[in-house]
Amino acid sequence: MSGFATHFAILEKLQGFWLARAIHVAVRLGLPDLLANSTRQLSELALATNSNEPALYRLLRCLKHLEIITEISPKLYSGTALCERLRRTDSLHWLSMSYGDEWQLRAWERLEHAIRTGVSGMSHAFGADLWTYLDQHADYAEHYNKALSGLSTLNDQIASVYDFPDGAVVVDIGGGEGDFLGRILARNSSVRGVLFDRKPVIDSIGGINDSACRDRLSLLAGDFFENIPPDGDIYVLKQVLHDWDDLRALAILKNCRRIMKKGAKLLVAELIVPESGPLALFGSLLDLQMLVVHGGRERTRQEFANVLQASGYKLQRVIATPTPVSIIEAC
């Protein structure tokens, strides 16, 4: 690769932050919804978004090169399939909002501090962990929660690959608003579920809408660092451990191990960071996000095996899903 080529390759990578901000602002302006199933003139879009027309044109030009919009003719635009995924009805809209929120930016500004100390940028910037911060900032919490709750299709694909025994009691630890557990119950008519999360989370939800599932669901509030509901047949930790460093992940796992009866199983649903391939960069960047925001980490298969063994489990198998998330079965 020539000197200019390497120079340009680095420049393209450094512009990643600019691209994310351009998409965030486009979403904040409502451009994806304005361009849904329609074509709009630049002047219409400027009026609808209360924007400076020449400046908006420059943003639209960038979005065109990102293939988020199409310029049908000079200054006449329509949305693409990517644009459709950024509408308010899609979780990626809310993820785009959340990724551009102040707390994310300020946490990432502390990346160097996080690398030098191992302490999250979030705690360094705000003196609080993410959950405490979001409890105090309802608008940012809305963006974050809607981004997570919009993953129903992915949850269903993950739930589809595991054979839950008839009559099993499934305890979803840190299960949030219950979408994943609801998908499990909907697919397994004899399974009963226990949704376990922090009291503010449990108090804010009404349970699962499907009445057939709701009759088989219990809601319990608590702290998984202090106690875990007993008498489950299968304990689920879906994208919980990546929020925590190894020491605190061990505490969660040991609390589960302590109350699990003979024959009970643990399912850990997480991204397994690959060493190479199409998901390697994605996994590495997500790992940095976990460090900066939570002080947590994404893990390789060996790292999962190590933390499970240290907390008294044996890793039995890893089940691939149609998503980047795998299911790790342990007992």
**274: exposed, middle or buried (C-beta count within 10 Å: 0-12, 13-18, 19+)?**
middle
CA distance 139 to 74: 37
DSSP for 132-184 reads: HHHHT-HHHHHHHHHHHHT-HHHHHHHHTTS-PPTT-EEEEET-TTSHHHHHH
Contact between 307 and 246 (Cβ < 8 Å): yes
Residue 24 and residue 62 in contact, taking contact as beta carbons nearer than 8 Å? no
Q: What angle do CA 60, 63, 64 make, to 5 degrees?
A: 85
Strand partners, 172: 195, 236
Distance CA 315, CA 301 (A): 10
* Catalytic choice (24, 93, 143, 242): 242
Report the distance separating Cα 131 and Cα 136, nearest Å.
9
| Sequence letter at residue 177 | E
Verify whether residue 24 is a known catalytic residue: no
Strands (DSSP E) contained in 36-138 are 39-41, 69-73, 76-79
Task: Give catalytic residues, as residue numbers.
Answer: 242
